[in-house]
Chain A
Amino acid sequence: MDNVTLTINDIKVTVEKGATILDAAKKVGVRIPTLCHHEDLCVAGNCRVCVVEQKGARALQASCAVPAAEGMQIYTNTKKVREARKTIIELLLSEHAGECTSCYRSGNCELQAIAQEYLADGDAFIDVADMTEIDISSPAIVKDDSKCIKCTRCVRTCAELQGVSALWAINKGNHTKISTFMSKPMHYVVCTNCGQCINRCPTGALTERNYIQDVWSAIDDPEVHVVVQTAPAVRVGLGEALGMEPGRVVTGKMAAALRKLGFDSVLDTDFSADLTIMEEGTELLVRLKEALAEKKNVALPMMTSCSPGWIKFIEHQYPELLDNLSTCKSPQQMFGALAKTYYAKKKGVDPSKMISVSIMPCTAKKFEAARPEMNSSGFQDVDYVLTTRELGHMIRQAGIDFENLQDEKFDTIMGESTGAAVIFGATGGVMEAALRTAYEIVTGREVPFANLNIEPVRGMDGIKSAAVKIEKVKPEWSFLEGAELKVAIAHGLVNADKLMKEIEAGKSPYHFIEIMACPGGCIGGGGQPIPTSPEIRKKRAEAIYVADSELPIRKSHENPEIQMIYKDFLHEPLGHHSHELLHTHYTPRRNVK
């Protein structure tokens, strides 16, 4: 690789050819403000707040977009630079309806931070904010054009990471805006509700639909029993929302905080993640049996169904592949269906007086909970879905000193879980958990990987694959003797799309595919604390695997509460009750971009 040497504020620096001025500045510890730049996305060079002065050049250079060149002399803090940046920020403020006191992103807004840094005047220029009515059509994502600064991070996220392109820049000049196909409302278009755009929006233009007030009302109502479940990835993200560094596991503090907030039952989605493994693992083995032993025409590869963003994606883009999806509900919805049946019965609570809340790293879960078919308990199975960020807000509102809370445990019956469930939060985790259980069911032995850690399915590669040789099986699984189980994992819908194209072309070699809509899996979910970056997601994933390794039980089928629910209530995986409560169907949708 060729190198180039340049100076940043007279400091000499050598970088690889192709690196930007911004990269070079970072290398010598010079911070340059940015807004449209994002580590996960391609270069835009639009907002211009990162301009720097190059000796000998008339115009300023956008440091995020201009490659470092040999002999360049760059100055990042000249009068010309400071004045231009301040003016640019003031221009952005003029098209941004401030409302800082009431804005959901206040305190976590990049525009606010940079405006403060440059002491920019919000009234320097005439207000030109786009006062189009706020789009609250989606149960998951709120789009407020009056706060949009047209940085196109959302557009690039939707196109590059998700391959969806629900959002795009339309019109030009003063009419430029970020919009949907034919400017249809968000609920109408191909948006998967994944919320990745929210994670990358520098302002409050894109936020989750927040249900904080509804949940407070439920908690405040003495007649109501409020059950809360918390998804695996929340425990490695919540700390960030409360000022802690990325990568902290805060399971115990979270359970304590939820109790302090006033939830009546503090339970764990990890329980139903273990349950998912029992159901989905069995479903896979049944499909394999039908395909291999009975030579039936079965849809393979089977694909996971935990990620509601992924589900909406496939419903829009590949409706002909819906049979390949596992019929298992996501852990959230399994939990919801059981809370108002099994749990209510065991605890003697009237399910009509129960409100079921879930804390998710996800915005698509809000949409999933609102799907019309998700009422198999006889009620809406999950009433409110809060993101990790919303829970962080409630904990702050309640004045809880989160960092110094004593660890507490989840309540029983639906609160026990295993390491296999925890790793659901990271890409490859469902696959690893499923393999740990399925392999053991078939062979009676543990998976042949050191410490149960199935390394090939871990990590941040967009698509991962592995093959597991199945040998010395139990007699009832003899048709699998010598078979090689081929699996693949994709995260980020743009990667999922590649695997789907392979299936469509009849070239997919896999038996089982795990797909998570969000980069990194749920730890990088659209409901997780902002900001996100490859580094932050890596730390969260590491924390997930630490949490797994520290748990006494690390295989779903060994969870005593899972064993109990099958004994007392469900009787067997894919049984009658399971079918009614834990499995679902999908809806082909129009593909309107």
Chain B
Amino acid sequence: MLSRIRGALLAPGVAAVMAILIAAIALLISRNNPLTAFSAMWDNISNAESVVLIINRAVPYYVSGVAVAIGFKMNLFNIGANGQYLLAALIAAWAGSQVTLPAPLHVTFILAVAVVVGAAWASIAAILKVTRNVNEVISTIMLNFIATGLVAFLLTEQFRERDTGSLIAQTPTLPPSARLPHLDWLITWTGIDLGNARLLGFLPIAIAIGVAYHLLLNRSRFGYELRLSGLNPEAARAAGVNPKAMVFKTIVLSGAIAGLIGMHSLLADPQFYKYGDQFPRMLGFTGISLALLGRNHPAGVAAAALVWAMIERATQPLSRIGIPQEIGVIMQGAFLLTAIIAYEVVKRRNDANAAAQAAAMSQSVTTAEPPHTAQLPGGGS
């Protein structure tokens, strides 16, 4: 078990070192001192407040990563998580503001609306794929544009808050019954001072999504058939899996989870509690990188989301000391690329070892025991 974890961490470890080196080179080329930059970055993440802020930032990333990962497991590329979550967040924000319900029900209602909208929007791509064989990469990218336009239209024409006379288009702010309480007590209870940071309340739901994803993928029949379809669609078909139904269900499921990406901001972040022009707009694309980096593994994607958030948090103060903040994006990109290469190298090594072991096994048996009855029908085979 320990050696397996060590093996799993080897590739990302190497990739992290490479990413730091590449970032250092980029800093040197742009005539900045890498050491100054790195120490400023470290200072900005090495305190309890920052850790909480990193977790807050990582939570929606994680949901996004899981949404994309579930499609990847079947070789389906849901590039449309972005459109799915924006539309879901807008409609859920509006629907939530139109009802009066007790707290747990209110939150559940909004989550359900988001899931349904995300799934419904994704189902367009799923139907196109299943009936007309339209590549889901193309259709989901196109649907992103349509979703963005649709969100802008709905927000300005239908769902905006009317009675305030405000010029800003935004949905009505959700009442307290629709908000997820923060979790500071989890940390302050240990005596750690959090400063101004709050641990936002969507974290348990994100963890539940991760656990559900794990159970579905690795313990359920559906997950088995999903992985099978991804690894070898022909064999899956021969094993009685209906490929079209599988494609449909997977895209819709990915969309359903994508619908939840915006819920952290909507239900748990005091900055929002509504959908407006400040609402995060690109979370769905980040999920693609995170699914790749985390190898579609429930824990791997979580680690990737934390690293991503950490890099972003770390590079925030750089512009104040005259170093371009974009170094963070360079680090993220370099990390992703080198990690993918490193994964492949490690995988090939492991594969070769497994094959050699099995070969050793069959040989040692061949020489140790009398071989099995070899018969030659009709004097030759």
- The answer on A and B forming one complex is no
Residues of A that sit less than 8 Å from B by CB: none
Residues of B that sit less than 8 Å from A by CB: none
